[in-house]
């Protein structure tokens, strides 16, 4: 069993997210807090805190109570960050919804989370968020703003548009601001006094082996300690400026990005609504960012951007690369060509708030390309035999389990899944295979779970299979991940049809379009193969490893070289 303990108690321990923001604001009033260079939007800590205050009061004026769930379905926009801290100020639980979700997924999350309010943008690229909401909640069109009554969503009573032109039945962001005057200082102070660091404050949806996403519930303490210690691993100070091209809806963006900035008093620099390599390079250069986050595919896109050679990125020092295995040559280019000499590698999971292990800025390059680091302070890790549960020694592959301040409170409304993830001794089981080296550093070697990681997005095939079964022509489907040089993995599905009237090529296109219409883009299978039968065990279980092996052979795919 391995652990790395902190020498001093972190200043954030025992505080709520709001208390951290208030203390940081007192120290850093005039310093940059939130910067969107492409929007010419910039707030100091004092200005940001004032925005947070008004939205918090507006939420209270609309009847949002401590512990109620407020969902946000939006890209990386300024209002996302303001709402994150405003909900924390009044003790409401922020429910993060992936902006790539389609109506099928939105409906599930709104129902499962018991959200009483939904904040959403109007549109982005080809996505019309108002139209998708109208598809699943037609009652909104005839509702009085703030008094929605929906049969499908009995808890949902408020919709707020992060858009100057809200749909019928919804409030606009400015209308919410206008409600703030109805709540005075004493009422807000009384609410803040009710809060506790151990209370739930955030719900992150993470796909599960049972099919549909599960709601990992995280506390103030979970998130703040993760931000603090991950920042320590990067030698973060108030002089740093964090470039955040990763999405806010994920822990990477809203814990290691926005919350870490509040913990250390750094500037949050947000390049664009969704990842764009040119905009990211613009933001680094214009705002002299010292820290850069991303999954490997993001760093690859930045290095390959046609403007890269003209850039002055000399301000870069550190950052985190996480989300999927890092190709060795990419890590070297990030250090040598981007100049992020102290870049770190992080490993974790949403249920662990998210970072569990991380390399340090002064680790030799070999450790930063061959391992995922050692435990962050306050976290225990053990490697166990997945079958017997026996703890294993160095250089023995087994399941990685973690215990400590990182472990979630549980899955919302799913005690059975919680018991399966967290054992009676408090160990969170990752489902990932790993080994511990004698020097205390860990290597991730594989996965027990039937999970695909495509460009940093965790995808569980069961969820997609259950959706494919809703197609009238599909009798059976199996989904696996296959190697891909750009995304790490791509989705492949084998399908047995009920009838075979159309050509296979035409049918494959129809199925992909069916998926695009209802699922996030990264869940749409790239490879579709029609079969008459599946490789099975004697008990009838589909042997997915054989499907994967067959596709790798047929398509002449190669496993990417990873650290």
Instruction: Name the nearest CA neighbour of 525 among 499, 551, 503, 498.
Output: 551
Helix 129-136 and helix 103-113: axis angle, to 10°?
Answer: 60
Phi, psi of 388 (to 5 degrees): -95, -25
Domains and CATH numbers, the chain: 45-195 (3.40.50.980), 452-554 (3.30.300.30)
Tokens read off for 275? 């990842």
Q: How many residues are present in the chain? A: 563
Answer whether 44's CB lies under 8 Å from 31's CB: yes
In the numeric block, which tokens belong to residue 77?
């926009």
Specify the DSSP element, H or E, that contains 467: helix 461-468
Q: How many CB atoms lie within 10 A of CB 60?
A: 22
> Whole-angstrom Cα distance, residue 194 to residue 201?
13
pLDDT for residue 545: 83
What pLDDT, on a 0 to 100 scale, did the predictor assign at position 139? 98
Which backbone phi and psi does 555 adopt, to 5 degrees? -95, 0
Nearest to 70 by CA among 60, 104, 151: 60
The residues near 410 (Cβ < 8 Å, ≥ 6 apart) are 217, 418, 422
Pairing of strands 32-36, 379-384: unpaired
Contacts 24+ apart (CB under 8 A), 383-392: 383/434, 383/435, 383/436, 386/433, 386/448, 391/1
Structure tokens of 2? Answer: 């391995």
Both tokens assigned to 62:
């609309």
Pure H helices in 288-364: 296-304, 328-336
Most distant pair of Cα atoms in the chain: their distance: 70
Token output for 546: 């054989």
Query: Exposed, middle or buried: residue 30 (CB in 10 Å: 0-12, 13-18, 19+)?
Result: exposed
- Global pTM value: 0.86
Token look-up 């809203």 returns 254
3-state helix, strand, coil in the chain (%, to 5): 35, 25, 40
Residue with tokens 């973060």: 236
284's tokens? 């680094």
Distance CA 262, CA 246 (A): 17
Pairing of strands 123-124, 127-128: antiparallel
Q: Which two tokens stand for residue 289?
A: 């960012």
CA dist 201 and 89 (Å) reads 10
Q: Shortest CA distance to 44 belongs to which of 278, 339, 214, 266?
A: 266
Q: What are the residues whose beta carbons fall under 8 Å from the beta carbon of 562, sequence distance 6 or more?
A: 325, 326, 327, 328
Tokens standing for 56?
């918090």
Which tokens in the block code for residue 48? 């940001």
Contact 182, 145 (CB under 8 A): no
d(Cα 269, Cα 86) in Å, to the nearest integer?
Answer: 19
Q: What are the average pLDDT values for consecutive 10-residue runs of the chain, which has 563 residues?
A: 69 98 98 98 98 98 98 98 98 96 95 98 96 98 97 97 96 96 97 98 76 90 98 98 96 97 98 97 98 91 96 98 76 93 95 97 89 96 94 95 98 96 97 93 80 84 85 90 92 89 86 94 95 73 85 86 47
Name the β-bridge partners of 318.
291, 342
What pLDDT was estimated at residue 7?
A: 56
DSSP string across 408-443: -SEETT-HHHHHHHB-TTSPEEEEEEEEE-TTS-EE
């Amino acid at each position: 069993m391995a652990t790395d303990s902190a020498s001093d108690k972190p200043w954030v321990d025992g505080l709520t997210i709001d208390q951290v923001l208030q203390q940081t604001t007192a120290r850093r009033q005039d310093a940059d807090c939130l910067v969107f260079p492409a929007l010419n939007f910039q707030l100091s800590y004092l200005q940001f805190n004032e925005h947070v205050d008004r939205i918090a009061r507006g939420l209270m004026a609309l009847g949002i109570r401590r512990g109620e769930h407020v969902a946000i379905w939006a890209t990386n926009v300024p209002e996302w960050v303001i709402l994150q801290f405003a909900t924390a100020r009044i003790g409401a639980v922020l429910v993060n919804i992936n902006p790539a979700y389609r109506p099928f997924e939105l409906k599930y999350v709104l129902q499962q989370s018991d959200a009483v309010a939904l904040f959403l943008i109007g549109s982005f690229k080809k996505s019309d968020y108002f139209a998708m909401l109208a598809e699943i909640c037609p009652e909104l069109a005839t509702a009085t703003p703030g008094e929605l009554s929906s049969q499908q969503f009995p808890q949902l009573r408020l919709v707020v548009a992060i858009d100057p032109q809200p749909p019928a039945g919804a409030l606009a962001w400015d209308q919410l601001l206008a409600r703030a005057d109805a709540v005075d200082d004493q009422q807000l102070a009384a609410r803040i006094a009710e809060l506790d660091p151990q209370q739930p404050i955030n719900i992150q949806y993470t796909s599960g082996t049972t099919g549909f996403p599960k709601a990992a519930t995280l506390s103030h303490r979970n998130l703040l300690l993760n931000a603090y210690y991950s920042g320590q691993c990067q030698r973060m100070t108030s002089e740093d400026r964090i470039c955040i091209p990763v999405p806010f809806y994920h822990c990477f963006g809203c814990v290691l990005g926005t919350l870490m900035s509040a913990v250390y008093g750094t500037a949050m620099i947000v390049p664009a609504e969704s990842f764009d390599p040119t905009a990211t390079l613009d933001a680094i250069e214009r705002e002299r960012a010292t820290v850069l986050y991303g999954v490997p595919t993001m760093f690859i896109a930045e290095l390959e951007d046609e403007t890269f050679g003209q850039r002055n990125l000399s301000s870069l020092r550190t950052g985190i690369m996480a989300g999927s295995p890092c190709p060795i040559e990419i890590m070297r280019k990030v250090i040598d060509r981007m100049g992020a000499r102290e870049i770190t590698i992080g490993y974790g999971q949403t249920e662990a708030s998210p970072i569990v292990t991380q390399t340090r800025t002064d680790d030799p390059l070999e450790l930063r390309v061959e391992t995922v680091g050692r435990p962050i302070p306050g976290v225990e890790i053990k490697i166990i035999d997945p079958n017997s549960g026996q703890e294993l020694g160095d250089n023995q592959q087994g399941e990685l389990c973690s215990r400590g301040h990182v472990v979630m409170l549980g899955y919302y409304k799913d005690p059975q899944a919680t018991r399966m993830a967290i054992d009676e001794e408090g160990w969170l089981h990752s489902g990932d295979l790993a080994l511990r080296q004698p020097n205390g550093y860990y290597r991730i070697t594989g996965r027990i779970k039937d999970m695909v990681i495509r460009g940093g997005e965790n995808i569980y095939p069961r969820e997609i299979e259950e959706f494919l079964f809703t197609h009238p022509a599909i009798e059976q489907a199996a989904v696996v991940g296959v190697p891909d040089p750009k995304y790490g993995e791509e989705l492949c599905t084998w399908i047995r049809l009920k009838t075979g009237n159309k050509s296979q090529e035409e049918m494959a296109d129809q199925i992909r379009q069916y998926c695009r219409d209802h699922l996030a883009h990264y869940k749409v299978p790239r490879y579709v193969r029609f079969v008459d039968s599946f490789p099975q065990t004697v008990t009838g279980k589909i042997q997915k490893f054989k499907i994967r092996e067959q596709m790798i052979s047929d398509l002449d795919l190669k496993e990417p070289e990873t650290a």
